Structure 1
Amino acid sequence: MTKGEALLARLDGRLSGLRGRVTPDAEMEKITWFRAGGVADALFQPADEQDLAAFLKAVPADVPLTIVGVGSNLLVREGGIRGFVVRLSAKGFADTEIVSPTRIRAGAATPDKRLAAAALDAGIGGLHFYHGIPGSVGGALRMNAGANGVETSERAVEIRALDRKGKVHVLSNADMGYSYRHSAAAPDLIFTSALFEGYAEKPEVIKAAMDEVQHHRETVQPIREKTGGSTFKNPEGTSAWKEIDKAGCRGLMIGGAQMSPMHCNFMINTGNVTGYDLEYLGETVRARVLETSGIRLQWEIKRIGEFKPGREVQEFLGQML
């Protein structure tokens, strides 16, 4: 019996009545943009918020839950993920609604680009930067995603979420405790939707701003590669890519993983990459930057799951700690 089959057998009867999709032994490489990663014991895709609440109430507290979005900023280790991975379905969590001339509500599974497009259609300015973020609203809320000088913290007004017991919470912007690429919201909260506020703007002005975002991405980022976006957060007073370049890591390869020659703060899958390759490359870069500049780069990519025995990766490769 596989780990996934054993988990579902243990929960026999508890999950009856759910309308979402349960997949045992889910291959995470099919989800992540890196196209790499181990197997999750089980994947649950709820039909809607009510279905998600029922699932959360049914699953015992000792069963681990891991929340993922579209997999754009995600590194899954080879040993896989214990318990359930929860991934919100597009059908139940990707609607957008114009609430007022300056406000728009979006489900957590809404792609950031779709949020930008809906704001354009409604003549709501200030959300154009989402056109350049390769992820979904839920991830943007969790990590305070930003681009082109604007962050989620400047536009998110109210966030709806469920806790581990399926209870609904409505959080204000202040409740989120936003800082650079981080929110202080409780880690067990699953965001389901959010209200964003921009300002009235002419569609042609918004479109021009979105085109500028797209042009920037196409000219400086490896957007046609299998990548996870920015690998490391920008340190205070400098840019991650500058420090990586200074450390001689532009184009550096380990196995099937490479720091992009085009933008060296992006890791790319050059072929048959593994989670080990990606994380070992990242920690090699961190160690070299620490040695060169004395800067401890912090991961922006979310790393989840367990290491495969014998293929563990230590932070900074265990050096200079």
Structure 2
Amino acid sequence: MADWDDRLPRVRGRYAFDVDLSRTVWFRAGGRADVVFRPADIDDLAHFLAARPADVPVTVVGLGSNLLVRDGGVEGVVVRLRQGFRDVRVRWDVGAGALDMNVARYCRDQGVDGLAFLSGIPGTIGGALRMNAGAYGYEMADVLVEARALDGDGTMHVLAPDAMGLSYRHSDVPDDWILVSAVLAGRRGDPAAIARHMEEINIAREASQPIRARTGGSTFTNPEGNKAWELIDEAGCRGLARGGAQISEQHCNFIVNAGGATASDIEGLGEEVRRRVEQKTGLSLRWEIRRIGRHGCWPEGTGEGEA
């Protein structure tokens, strides 16, 4: 702790040391972070990035809804965008730390239509931008006007959607850039009609997904022309378990922590599903869940999969 405290720049936000990240991510599994930094605002974050030692790695974590932290923990500094990054202003300038659900609710209350789909995406706006998240027929590319990001040296960039290379569950934004805000486009609508639409989305999610379980959301992206859950089901993986991790019986593109799962249980189960699906169908599933950190003890008989 003393070594980190001496090496890191002075900030207005807060550092915490040796933090258990399993309490942060929705899976409730995984290792620790050397340091967690909660910047006070964008200027504080830019100062940190410009002044940090070049050999200190930086990883950004949002709500932890679509994230697996490996058991060996995360080296360097984990940045969490909290207070100061959650504002939703009248011109729909949205902080990257704002919860997707809260943005949808705010727009509902203001009579702004076209953003209700965000209520079906767990996580924050920053994470949704990073992966071009989508649900119920819409994705971030459909509503994004521009985004702002800090590069690894703390320099601000304003990004038009075309410059971000947005495609299905993907963006070309460099990995070491931190998305800090976005301007989103909506249209005038009736708050009551928007509320009904959001309720329909909530009912559909409740009926089809294990949203009350310890999970990380959709595990794999859909291969072109196919649905991942159907391929997983066809490969006989519904209900498949490894340690405390299990493929959901309700929706088999979800891995759940059924009790006491390690990150290695979860990732190892995912890799076994990928192996069986490729063996059965010839198609290779791509992880949608972001996996970070160092491996702990890898389950016997599996490979490490994608980096």
Q: What is the TM-score of this pair, normalised by structure 2? A: 0.96
Q: 2: distance between equivalents of 1:270 and 1:308?
A: 20
Which residue among 107, 125, 130 is the counterpart of 2:95? 107
Q: 2: distance between equivalents of 1:105 and 1:77?
A: 34
Is 1:314 the equivalent of 2:307?
Answer: no
Give the letter for the 1:147 counterpart. A
SS in 1 for 2:35: strand
Give the letter for the 2:54 counterpart. A
Partner of 2:20: 27
Is 1:57 the equivalent of 2:50?
Answer: yes
- 8 Å contact kept, 2:264–2:298: no
Partner of 1:242: 230
- Map residues 123-272 of structure 1 onto 2, 5 A cutoff: 123-272=111-260
Give the letter for the 2:253 counterpart. N
> Are residues 281 and 5 of structure 1, via their aligned partners in 2, closer, same or farther at CA, if it must alter by over 3 Å?
farther
Pairs aligned (count): 305
Cα displacement (A) at 1:30: 1.1
Q: 1: distance between equivalents of 2:253 and 2:44?
A: 39
Structure 2: runs of 5+ lacking an equivalent:
none
Q: Identity of aligned pairs, percent?
A: 51
Partner of 1:94: 86
Cα displacement (A) at 1:117: 0.6
SS in 1 for 2:89: strand
Q: 2: distance between equivalents of 1:133 and 1:294?
A: 30
Cα displacement (A) at 1:6: 3.3
- 8 Å contact kept, 1:254–1:280: yes
Q: 1: distance between equivalents of 2:154 and 2:73?
A: 25
Give the letter for the 2:286 counterpart. Q
Q: What is the TM-score of this pair, normalised by structure 1? A: 0.92
Partner of 1:285: 273
- 8 Å contact kept, 2:22–2:29: yes
Cα displacement (A) at 1:124: 1.1
Cα displacement (A) at 1:8: 2.9
Give the letter for the 1:29 counterpart. S
- 8 Å contact kept, 1:40–1:80: yes
SS in 1 for 2:266: helix
Q: 2: distance between equivalents of 1:265 and 1:149?
A: 18
Is 1:67 the equivalent of 2:60?
Answer: yes
Q: 1: distance between equivalents of 2:258 and 2:14?
A: 32
Q: 1: distance between equivalents of 2:305 and 2:182?
A: 37
SS in 2 for 1:287: helix
Give the letter for the 1:6 counterpart. D
Q: 2: distance between equivalents of 1:295 and 1:204?
A: 43
Q: 2: distance between equivalents of 1:219 and 1:311?
A: 33
Cα displacement (A) at 1:5: 4.4
> Are residues 283 and 24 of structure 1, via their aligned partners in 2, closer, same or farther at CA, if it must alter by over 3 Å?
same
Cα displacement (A) at 1:310: 5.5
- 8 Å contact kept, 2:213–2:256: yes
Is 1:8 the equivalent of 2:41?
Answer: no
Deviations 1:191-217 (A, max 9, x none): 111000011111122112111110110
Cα displacement (A) at 1:38: 0.7
Give the letter for the 2:13 counterpart. G
Deviations 1:154-193 (A, max 9, x none): 0011101111111111111111110000001121111111
Q: 2: distance between equivalents of 1:281 and 1:112?
A: 28
